[in-house]
Structure 1
């Protein structure tokens, strides 16, 4: 039987440990191609590079097709689909990210940005993240990766949808369980550190990170992660319209501008 084609990317960079553990978990059962940023691109979301050219380099990496791109995860997917691959992948898999991408961090996440680029082209995706940031034990979750792909292939995601999977911080043996969840509200807010340039004299800023927390729905990924469960959220990026507001305010909006007589 022909193996399904998998494109792997990430935002921690081609040399990050997480992507190698992700590849290791899938290499035997799928036809895998790795295309990832040449250096860390955390927090870039689904941004693309338009101000300078991109370089694509083929690497001798674990005996498979692997490429580094001097750009973002979304850039990597664009080049993979238009330059590298002869056939579309059946699935785009991103990660394993160092640190959580639960809650509204999907909007910042380059890990999610890579798979979002695919979903806009009707290629489903899965983004994997491990909550531990300082000392992530990626090897401890390798064996849990393949069942997610099996589920998605057996129960296909809706159009323009990806699965956002987050593992809790500490997994000893096995997690408490696996929950199909809704996206939470938590996100990484700013913690600004103002400094003075020693020779130029102007002020500059480091944007640090702090969690902005909310009262969460009990079925949210944030809530389940805090309880030690793996949380998977189907995230749809197809229709970004707030349909209720559109429906109830459409006539009022259009009449408002009709009265202005431009």
Structure 2
């Protein structure tokens, strides 16, 4: 397959380098990634400044294209301008740290995959679940093996897979589970500080909140050493509440 690889940790991140190298054994890989870290940029795109695409080399080896934009920018540019061939699959990662629960709304990694989905290209986001000591090799190896058994061409329109891999040795994985997006989120607070000139500034902190959920939710699978695979849809209409609101609107009278 022709695979476009991006991330939000930057083109020099070990996660994207290892993933691209692993995929290159069986596939044609094009790396188009941010020039610097763009974590938590969500699905932002650049519309008022130009985007620059610069080839990045280490020694004589071409790593890919560094873009002065977001992960969504990288996918758009890679699919519509840089690639000279049809891309069969977009993979965003391997991200440093998990992207589960409400993380998916903020994640540049997940947004890179969703951008591929909305441009009619099968797409996958992949993350290693530990911020401090991610096992990128495990996640990359899982992706290589997963693509041997999974037909990406069967993915529905506007859908991406969000994959979270436990940060353990590959041999310790118990398998993989299809999971739901949980309500895992952060209880945020701001610490007020002063700069050397006496001006106030604020630094955000957060405590993880993991509500009880069944075994088929993302964080429970990862805690049990299973790879979590969650299908995400770019069309976010709440169908159940849509029907409730429709009933209210039909009964409305002034």
TM-score by length of 2: 0.92
Q: Which residue of the partner structure matches residue 148 of structure 1?
A: 146
In 2: Cα distance, 1:60 partner to 1:104 partner: 36
**Local SS of the residue matching 1:216:** coil
Deviations 1:101-141 (A, max 9, x none): 01221111111110101101111111110111112231244
Asked whether 1:32 is paired with 2:39, we answer: no
Deviations 1:37-63 (A, max 9, x none): 000011111111234322211122573
TM-score by length of 1: 0.89
Could you tell me how far 1:255 is from its partner in structure 2? 6.2
Shift in alpha-carbon separation, 1:209–1:27, aligned structure 2, 3 A: farther
**Local SS of the residue matching 1:173:** helix
In 1: Cα distance, 2:241 partner to 2:225 partner: 37
Could you tell me how far 1:236 is from its partner in structure 2? 1.7
**Local SS of the residue matching 1:211:** strand
Asked whether 1:20 is paired with 2:9, we answer: no
Could you tell me how far 1:202 is from its partner in structure 2? 2.5
Q: Which residue of the partner structure matches residue 113 of structure 1?
A: 111
Q: Does structure 1 conserve the Cα–Cα contact (< 8 Å) formed by 2:88 and 2:121?
A: yes
The match for 2:245 among 246, 249, 260 is 249
The match for 2:67 among 42, 64, 69 is 69
Task: Please identify, of 95-104 and 242-251, the stretch whose mean Cα deviation from structure 2 is larger.
Answer: 242-251
Cα RMSD, aligned residues only: 2.0
Deviations 1:133-159 (A, max 9, x none): 112231244322212223332672211
Aligned length: 253
Q: Which residue of the partner structure matches residue 221 of structure 2?
A: 224
Unaligned runs of 5+ in 2: none
Could you tell me how far 1:173 is from its partner in structure 2? 2.5
In 1: Cα distance, 2:48 partner to 2:189 partner: 28
Task: Please identify, of 210-219 and 224-233, the stretch whose mean Cα deviation from structure 2 is larger.
Answer: 210-219
Q: Does structure 2 conserve the Cα–Cα contact (< 8 Å) formed by 1:184 and 1:217?
A: no
